[in-house]
Amino acid sequence: MDSESGHPKLIRTNYHSWRLDAEVQLIGIGALGIVEGTEPVPEIPITTRAAEITTYTQSVKDYRQAREKAIQWIWNHIHSDFHSIVAAVRRDPRDMWLELERRLDAVCPFHYDYNWINDELPEG
Which residues lie below 8 Å from residue 33, measured CB to CB, with a gap of 6+?
39
Bridge partners, 115 (sequence order):
120
- In this prediction the pTM is 0.79
Strand partners, 10: 78
Burial class (CB in 10 A: 0-12, 13-18, 19+), 6: exposed
CB 34 within 8 A of CB 63: yes
Mean pLDDT by 10 residues, the chain (124 residues): 71 92 97 97 86 91 98 97 96 97 78 48 50
pLDDT digits (tens, 9 = 90+) for 9-34: 999 889 999 999 999 999 999 999 99
